[in-house]
Amino acid sequence: MCGIRRIPYIYDAADIWSDAASFSTDSGLVIRVVRWLERFAMRGAAHLVTISDGVVSRVQDLGVDTPITVTGFGADTEEFFYSDEAISPVFLYAGTYSGLHGVDILIDAFAAFLAEHPGYTLRFVGNGTERASLEARAAARGSLTRLSF
């Protein structure tokens, strides 16, 4: 829409969606359409941002020459800093709720961990189409009373 309205935009190339689609479907048509849309969006952007040089290489492999800035991983230490305050023992998953990302395995592993180490919480921050099935999976593991979405 920004391209149609001639509004410059920055594209966040956190993942290569067309590569991820190839793990989710065998449909060559779907993968080609997603790849075309992704290239269109990246080529039309005024600038790209991404998290790694690996993604930069993959973007360039796709024939996109839009300028790219690698932002990397990490936290702004001006916003997030050490404190002596007591914290509760929490494992945090921040990302997409998807078997492709291994969240189902994480739920199973946390159930095994919690049996030996009570008092921990596994917290999910993110979104995804598999949230309901992952919540059901966690509920089926009875001992996961400390899991939160």
| C-alpha distances in Å from residue 53, one per residue of 56, 69, 90 | 5, 9, 31
User: Does residue 105 lie within any of the structural domains?
Assistant: yes
Structure tokens given for 99: 């078997």
In this structure, are 60 and 14 located in the same domain?
A: yes
Model pTM score? 0.53
Are residues 95 and 63 located together in one domain of the fold? no
DSSP type of residue 74: -
Which runs of consecutive H residues, i.e. helices, occur in the chain? 17-24, 28-44, 53-61, 103-116, 131-140
Inside any domain, residue 5: no
* Residue 75 belongs to some domain of the structure: no
Q: Is 141 part of any domain?
A: yes
Per-residue pLDDT for the chain (149 aa), expressed as one digit of tens each? 887 788 899 999 988 988 888 888 889 899 999 999 999 999 999 999 998 899 999 999 999 999 999 987 766 677 777 778 887 788 888 878 877 778 888 888 988 898 888 888 888 887 778 888 888 888 888 656 555 66
Question: By residue range, what is the domain housing residue 128?
Answer: 90-148
- Is residue 78 a part of any domain in this protein? no
Residue 3 lies in a domain: no
Is 85 among the domain residues? no
> Do 14 and 55 reside in the same domain of the chain?
yes
Number of domains in the chain: 2
Residues 6+ apart with CB under 8 A from 129: 97, 98
